[in-house]
Amino acid sequence: MARLSRTTRVIVLAVAAVSTIALLRVPDENSSYGSGRRDEIRWQVPTKTSVPFEETREFDLSNESCPNGLPLLEATQVDSVDLELSLFLDLPGAISLVFLSDNSGFVAERKGRVYSFESGKILAEPVIDLAANTSTDMDQGLLGLAVSPDKKWLYLNRTDLSGSSVVTAHSLTSGISNPGNGIEIIIVDQPSAMHNGGDLLFDPEGYLFVSFGDGGGLGDPHGHGQDLSTPLGSVLRLDVNPDLWPPHKPAPGNPDLGPGSDPRIWVSGVRNPFRFSFDTATGDLWLTDLGQQCVEEVTVLTPAEAGANLGWNLVEGSRPFMGQIEPFLRSPDFEYAHGRGRCAIIGGFVVHDGPHPILEDRYLFTDMCGAQLMSLRLGEQPSVLALPLHSTHPVAFVTGPAQGLYVVDLASGVWRISTKD
């Protein structure tokens, strides 16, 4: 399967096209309520008059060489550590995983199917099959899974055939092998198949965070990253209840970002926030943003930083892009330049009580190009360790019971990180 596409290093003169017993049917997403009511939870791309994409300043800047002096990812190679990767779930095409109990949960295929598993074994046929209405073009697909804190609902974030990002909730009251038909929670139309974000996760207070990229195009030609009226280029914080109408609303405590702004926005100014996590010790949000042609970013936001603007497309990381560094922009806590096998950060989580001391209180991450697992400790001089662990096409990290750490690999399935016997 082709790797999830990115526009980051496109240096061309043309627009680049930069990827639990089964449900009996693929639910019609209009079946639960009429189209008019559906529009109440849907954001549609406004009709805009625009010049041809290749004539925009964003396109020109995206084809320029990166400036000298950008920080390189300097990692200390660690070879003498007894860690290994062992196959946990054999499922090529896997993209996300959630645990429901100590030995059971769900694993998703990018193509739109969800399987249940128990004790390291996938149970028969998919329990949710939305492949017939899921697009896997470019950055699209079934990209994220989350289980509600009360474990009554399984949430999916995927792209349907119309190109819209759709978050659905599936009831778990009938057990792990029979999730209910999906109830649509939020629909966000996408202007292209690129930069769709796709992650979702409940915060420590029980509110659902959902990430959306800028909607694609080199350099964010629509300006979504700095447009607070749109969910694109943002991370939303939602109060969700599939049993009520509407099934989502802005979570209490969300920031007021001014007249005309979307009250669901928690973080703005992002390009493609494919993965994020919460530090279980501090509640801080660790957010990674896939860069344009030059820089990958890690930003750590405390709860008090609600409403932070991470700067895209005025800046890419700490380098000016369409604008300049401004006091109101939140700079990344860690960034590194493309090159030397680095091109697309895949964020993980801060490890606490992990399987090995070398991982303790460090942020686990990788880069899709080099695919070597690494750990980060922030500080005045950030420390990066390159672990003797390599994946093939890493797309997510997951924590599990009993000190379980897992990496989801699109090429092969789910691998457990553990100490050698």
Each residue of 109-162: pLDDT tens digit? Answer: 999 999 999 999 998 899 999 999 999 999 999 999 999 999 999 999 999 999
370 has a pLDDT exceeding 60: yes
pLDDT band at 3 (very low <50, low <70, confident <90, very high): very low
Question: Does any domain span residue 14?
Answer: no
Of 3, 77, 16, nearest to 385 by C-alpha is 77
91 has a pLDDT exceeding 50: yes
Rounded distance, CA 15 to CA 364, Å? 34
pLDDT band at 52 (very low <50, low <70, confident <90, very high): confident
pLDDT band at 21 (very low <50, low <70, confident <90, very high): very low
**Per-residue tokens: 24:** 């009996």
> What's the CATH number where 108 sits?
2.120.10.30
pLDDT at 37: 85
Question: Does any domain span residue 20?
Answer: no
Structural domains of the chain, count: 1
pLDDT at 205: 97
Question: Does any domain span residue 110?
Answer: yes
48 has a pLDDT exceeding 90: no
pLDDT single digits (tens) 379-417: 999 999 999 999 999 999 999 988 899 999 999 999 999
- At residue 174, what is the residue type? S
Compute CA distances 402 → 101, 103, 155, 283, whole Å: 11, 10, 24, 21
pLDDT single digits (tens) 223-280: 999 999 999 999 999 999 999 999 999 999 999 999 999 999 999 999 999 999 999 9
pLDDT at 327: 95
Question: Does any domain span residue 410?
Answer: yes
Rounded distance, CA 290 to CA 378, Å? 19
Question: Does any domain span residue 256?
Answer: yes
| Whole-structure pTM value | 0.91
Higher pLDDT, 176 or 366: 366
* 168-192 average pLDDT score: 89
Question: Does any domain span residue 64?
Answer: yes
Greatest mean pLDDT among 13-22, 33-42, 235-244 lies in 235-244
Backbone angles phi, psi at 26, to 5 degrees: -80, 120
pLDDT band at 35 (very low <50, low <70, confident <90, very high): low
Higher pLDDT, 261 or 177: 261
Question: Does any domain span residue 31?
Answer: no
Name which of 10-19, 102-111, 130-139, 179-188 the model is least confident about: 10-19
288 close to 346: Cβ distance less than 8 angstroms: yes
Q: What is the DSSP string of 182-239?
A: PEEEEEE--SSSS-----EEE-TTSPEEEEE----STT-TT-GGG-TTSSTTEEEEEE
25 has a pLDDT exceeding 50: no
157 close to 199: Cβ distance less than 8 angstroms: yes
Instruction: Give strand pairing partners of 287.
Output: 276, 299
**Per-residue tokens: 397:** 């990290």
pLDDT single digits (tens) 309-343: 999 999 999 999 999 999 999 999 999 999 888 99
SS3 assignment, position 133: helix
Of 299, 319, 320, nearest to 310 by C-alpha is 299
- What secondary structure letter does DSSP report for 116? E
* 189-213 average pLDDT score: 96
Question: Does any domain span residue 275?
Answer: yes
Backbone angles phi, psi at 146, to 5 degrees: -155, 145
Q: Torsion over CA of 134, 139, 142 and 143, rounded to 10 degrees? A: -170
53 has a pLDDT exceeding 80: no
Mean pLDDT of the chain: 90
Structural domain including 377 reads 50-419
